[in-house]
Structure 1
Amino acid sequence: MSAAPAPFGITVCGIEELCEHGGLGASHVLSILDPGHPVPEAFGTYGEHARLELRFHDIIEPTEGEVCPEPAHVEAILAFGRSLQDEAPGAARLLVHCHAGISRSTACLVLILAQAMPEASAAEIVRMVHGIREKAWPNLRLIELGDAMLQRSGTLVSATHALHRLQLERRPHIAEYMEKGGRGREVQAALLSVLP
């Protein structure tokens, strides 16, 4: 049995795509930016919306000179997700972005949906996010922190490993890119996982 549809509209994108979504009618925008990056000018076309801006780098281990995702970031993401659920049915639409719309943004979406849909399995949640953003590679540190907070018993982490493996099967070049970027742990865990 497949998971129920998401309880709100969803768009995931990178910074360069933001200008395409000004007329979307997003009620909530989750903006994940590198520290020091300017606020995207595209938001000037978005009309009234609730926006949470968080700034941390796309890394999975503490790294000197960079801001690592921390529990406080995940707590803020989940609180923002709960505000979506306060809207009237069908009224909320979430746009979540990071720089490329691949890693931090998709991890945030996994956690927001896992919170909003506690009856859905982790595999169903991750498949839903993959269906929304085909090139999704959720940031493992965000998933690990959120899995613990949501008491998902490691299932979100395992489902993310499986998605990473699927992406490596389809895009083998990702492995070298991730390893050079200090994210080899994601690659190694993916290679040990079971394809979805």
Structure 2
Amino acid sequence: MSARIAKLVPYRLSICGLHELDGFCEDGVSHVVSILDTGHGTVEVFERFGPHHREDFRFDDVVEELPGRLLPSEDEVARLLRFGERLAADGADHVLVHCFMGVSRSTAAAAILLAQHNPGREPDVFEALNDIRPRNWPNRAMIGHADRLLGREGALFRAMVDQHRSVTRRYPDMADLIRSVGRGHEVPTD
């Protein structure tokens, strides 16, 4: 675990996509945040994990209302925050957060868990996120809900926008990826 992450949370935090879950079967994962599309079925790889606590979420990787797609709701982000509250009480050792690609919903969820107990350290949250998953693009709807629920008055959201700008500079192809999924309005133009 990087020193940046250790200053924010007392557990190991990992992020991955669905295709990477096999690599964590023997990794001592104690808690899982599983985020997949609404139509996705059971994830059977978890049967090969050791004992763990898991919270399953089903919503689509969208940031605005679209026909046939389920937008991440404030209620779902509140549920994630409740799960985050239980991590210390449960003695979490290794928390794994995954979504389909390991780029947007999972990185937003991890940022929310990092931000939850670290008010005023929003830029540190995204620096730590870079240590865990350098190619990240946190879902802005999820971050917006968390910003409101945590009472950050826009600080978490602004730090995410700065993060998008930073990721675009480091990985120019990420801008193309985000545009290709209809979220080009999120790509900073400066």
Assess same fold via TM > 0.5: yes
What's the offset of the Cα at 1:117? Answer: 2.7
8 Å contact from structure 1 (residues 23, 46) kept in 2 = yes
Partner amino acid, structure 2, of 1:185? H
Could you tell me how far apart the structure 1 residues matched to 2:12 and 2:172 are? 32
Q: Match of 1:8?
A: 11
Contact 2:140 2:160 in 1 (8 A): yes
Query: Any stretches of 5+ residues in structure 1 without a counterpart?
Result: none
The answer to whether structure 1 residue 162 and structure 2 residue 159 are counterparts is no
Contact 1:7–1:116, Cα closer than 8 Å, also in 2: no
How far apart are the structure 2 equivalents of 1:20 and 1:178? 26
Counterpart of 1:151?
151
* SS of alignment partner, residue 86 of structure 1: helix
- How far has the Cα of 1:158 moved from its partner? 1.1
Query: Who is 2:29 aligned against?
Result: 26
Report runs of 4+ in structure 1 exceeding 4 Å deviation: none
Q: Distance in 1 between matches of 2:189 and 2:65?
A: 23
Aligned to 1:139: 139
Alpha-carbon shift at residue 170 of structure 1 (Å): 2.4
Q: Report percent identity of matched pairs.
A: 37
Q: How many angstroms does 1:109 deviate by?
A: 0.7
**Residue 128 (structure 1) aligned with residue 134 (structure 2):** no
What is the DSSP-based 3-state SS (H/G/I as helix, E as strand, rest coil) of the residue aligned with 2:71?
coil
For these two proteins, the number of residue pairs brought into alignment is 186
Name the structure 2 match of 1:172.
Answer: 172
Residue aligning to 2:67: 64
TM-score relative to the length of structure 1: 0.88
Find the aligned partners of 2:134 and 2:42 in 1 and give their Cα distance.
26
- Tell me what 2:44 maps to: 41
Q: Which residue of 2 aligns with 1:102?
A: 103
Q: Structure 2 unaligned runs (5+)?
A: none
- Secondary structure of the corresponding residue to residue 64 of structure 1: coil
One-letter amino acid matched to 2:94: R
Deviations 1:91-119 (A, max 9, x none): 4321000001110001001111111333x
Distance 1:54 1:178 in 2: 22
| Equivalent-residue separation in structure 2 for 1:40 and 1:73 (angstroms) | 19
Residue in 1 that maps onto 2:86: 83
Give the TM-score normalised by structure 2.
0.91
Contact between 1:34 and 1:57, CA under 8 Å: does it hold in 2?
yes
Deviation at 1:5, TM superposition (A): 4.5
Counterpart residue number, 1:191: 189
Per the alignment, residue 113 of structure 1 pairs with 114
